[in-house]
Chains A and B, each alone.
Chain A
Amino acid sequence: MKGLLRYAITRILLTIPMLFILLTIVFLVLRVMPGDPVSAMLGAHAPEKVIEQKKEELGLNKPIIVQYVNYLGQLARFDLGNSMVLKQRVSKPILEKLPATIELTLWGLFFTLLIGIPLGAYAANKRRTGRDFTIRLYGNIAYCIPVYWMGLMLQLIFGVWLKWLPVSGRTNPRMLSSAFSKTGFYLIDTLLAGNIRAFGDVAVHLLLPSLTLGIVLSGIFVRLTRANMLDVLKSDYILAARARGVSEKLVVYKHGLKNAFIPILTMLGLQFAMLLAGAVLTETTFSWPGMGRLLMERIYLRDYPTVQGVIVVFALMVSVISLLVDLLYAAIDPRVKY
């Protein structure tokens, strides 16, 4: 347990240099990019004097190195700073939008695993049959499809043609009520408020975007699960378990799937960054008011501090997930000790 704690602390400390490098890159790229917050706000035809005045106000007239050091100084005090285009703290929109993105990614992850792992395991069990072939084909196609195209297609089929599911937003605007204000996680908020109708509405809105993410990312998990299951099912302990009269169901799912799950877990940690990237695009397609849309909007406005802030939060999420994955190894595999 002590080793575990030390390991976790080391990992958390290691995220600091990673964040530092990432931020340096983002900081420089934003300023090298054509355009700046002042011309984005005032337009190209504003008088020179006004532009200069605004730049001074925002500190953009100082040398980049000075801006950079100032920014790092702020961050060291856990302060993400003020937006350059709106009169607000950077943390305000982030805290508002973060639950929406977490809700979307977690359900996206849920569908990824719900589709990917059973399909892969089933295909491995039915190796070289028509069903196996069909599932592998699905895996390849899902892996190749761009996430925004998938989103558009699902919107077209389930929203426009079949009219079963809403195609944008987190909830019906007419549902707006006190039910959504506690945690920002609408599924939890509506449950806490005991508002079943609102809960249903939120769930229905969540379905298409998270399914979009789930389907696209399930491709790689189908293939990975299938390949690992085939490997594991060939191993000696599977044969030995069968020879002891252990039933096929236990052999395949208790011994087979659990052993095959270890590399899947590794992939899960790696793919989480992809999931966030996919969420940015999916949020745009589905007008989902999350971090991804915030990021896109503020990139257009060249709102440097907010863009940097969003990136910091994304990076922290990826680090937390990869730490959780490492801790899960120890829970699943008795050979792993920290």
Chain B
Amino acid sequence: MEQPILEVKNLSIDYPISIGTVEAVRDVSFSLKEGESLGFVGESGCGKSTLGLSLLQLLRPPGQIVAGEMYYYGKDLLKMKAEEVRKLRGNNIAMVFQNPLTSLDPLYSIEDQFFETLKEHEPKITREEAAERAGKVLEDLSIDKDRLYEYPHQLSGGMRQRIMIGLGLILDPDLLIADEPTTSLDVIVEAGFIDLLARLKKEYNISLILISHNLGLVAEIADRIAVMYGGKLMEVGNAEDIFARPMHPYTEGLIGCVPNIKMDQEKLVSMPGSPPDLVNPPSGCRFSPRCPKVMDICTEKEPPLKTHKDGRQVACWLHDEAN
């Protein structure tokens, strides 16, 4: 079997704060094959963004990785020196964030920010070469290359988001992490952006991790979907399978919440309850207080993430063979 581009084992992340410790991510394991795209979905505060930031070791203080291992093509990311991690960022693993309007430094031109990014990884590059390469990437993103010499405030939100993608792709990375890339865009721009992302993924031959609360969006691009709840993985599997046959009650609930234009719905479905307190997480399964199919065992013991025969992984006592 070929080596996965990214492998994460038993990752746990804490935020120690004054009232205790937020267990933001607990015992998360997954791997990503070359060229694959994996979508992380879940409600706000389920740890998906924290997970994304931790892959590049960009957790905001006081967040810290307390357990687990991460490998990029077999190289242990957590044992790398700070400078090695810096060189990896952008060059091998790039990341795009949710806020295109504020993710570009307002005081520097687009060209300057491209040049800086290139220069930090290829110290010998000249300004002209950098501009030429940036221009090519912008053309791929359907942005006129004269726009290179403008400042962020002169560009629209959609353009800025495409430029953020461009800055992510300029160094030709193997893996792109997109954290809620469309949250601040309107639906029309969002649809265009998703098509663009799918096209770029092919053209630049990259693997993709897409983080979103929007199940519909993830379904359009992702080969596999990982559903997170309260810092833990609830269900992982092929995107189509998960939609056709969700196994975890939380996944079922999430899919039920997506409005469907073909069905005659009178009311928008929402899941009762709110995300768990991660300082004092519920005992047993973290979803048990909101679960419609809760059993006695659910509040007593935490269900392990078990792999089923088609490769689907589920953490739920309903699907425990022993049960």
Query: Taking beta carbons and an 8 Å cutoff, which residues of A are in contact with B?
Result: 234-237, 239-248, 250, 254-255, 258-259, 332-335
Contact = CB atoms under 8 A, between A and B. Distances in A.
B153 A334 contact: yes
B107 A259 contact: yes
Contacts of A246: 90, 116-117, 120
B198 to A, nearest CB: 22
10 contacts: A234-B60, A236-B99, A239-B103, A244-B171, A245-B86, A246-B90, A246-B117, A247-B120, A250-B120, A259-B106
Contact of B106 (A245, A247, A254, A335): A335
Given A243-B95, A334-B109, 10 more contacts: A234-B60, A236-B97, A240-B164, A242-B58, A245-B171, A247-B120, A258-B107, A259-B107, A333-B106, A334-B151
A236 B88 CA distance: 20
A245 B89 contact: yes
B105 interface: yes
B107 A243 contact: no
A250 B115 CA distance: 13
Interface in B97-126: 97, 99, 102-109, 113, 116-117, 120-121
A334 B106 contact: yes
Contacts of B94: 243-244
B197 interface: no
Contacts of A254: 116
B159 interface: no
A243 B104 contact: no
Contacts of B109: 334
Contact of B104 (A237, A248, A250): A237
Contact of A239 (B58, B120, B121): B58
Interface string B144-185: 000000010100000000001001100100000000000000
A255 B120 contact: no
Given A250-B120, A335-B151, A242 B103 contact: no
Nearest to A127: B61
A236 B117 CA distance: 16
A333 B90 contact: no
Give chain B's interface residue range (CB within 8 Å of chain A).
20 to 34
A interface SS class: helix
Interface string B40-62: 00000000000000001010100
A235 B102 contact: yes
Given A250-B116, A335-B151, A335-B153, A243 B105 contact: no
- Lowest 10 CB-CB distances: which A-B pairs, in order? A245-B90, A245-B89, A244-B90, A236-B102, A240-B103, A243-B95, A334-B151, A237-B105, A236-B103, A244-B117
A247 B86 contact: yes
B90 A237 contact: no
B183 to A, nearest CB: 12
B91 interface: yes
B104 A240 contact: yes
Given A236-B97, A236-B102, A334-B151, A244 B167 contact: yes
B61 to A, nearest CB: 8
B87 interface: yes
A296 B212 CA distance: 69
Given A259-B107, A335-B151, A245 B97 contact: no
Contacts of A243: 56, 58, 89-90, 94-95, 97
A66 to B, nearest CB: 55
Contact of A245 (B103, B104, B113, B121): B121
A37 B275 CA distance: 80
Nearest to B101: A236
A285 to B, nearest CB: 40
A243 B121 CA distance: 13
A250 B105 CA distance: 12
A237 B153 CA distance: 13
A172 to B, nearest CB: 46
B97 A239 contact: yes
A253 to B, nearest CB: 13
The CB with the most chain B CB atoms within 10 A, among A236, A244, A245, A246, is that of A244
A244 B120 contact: yes
A326 to B, nearest CB: 17
Interface string B283-299: 00000000000000000
A241 B108 CA distance: 12
A242 B97 contact: no
Contact of B91 (A235, A236, A245, A335): A245
A255 B105 CA distance: 7
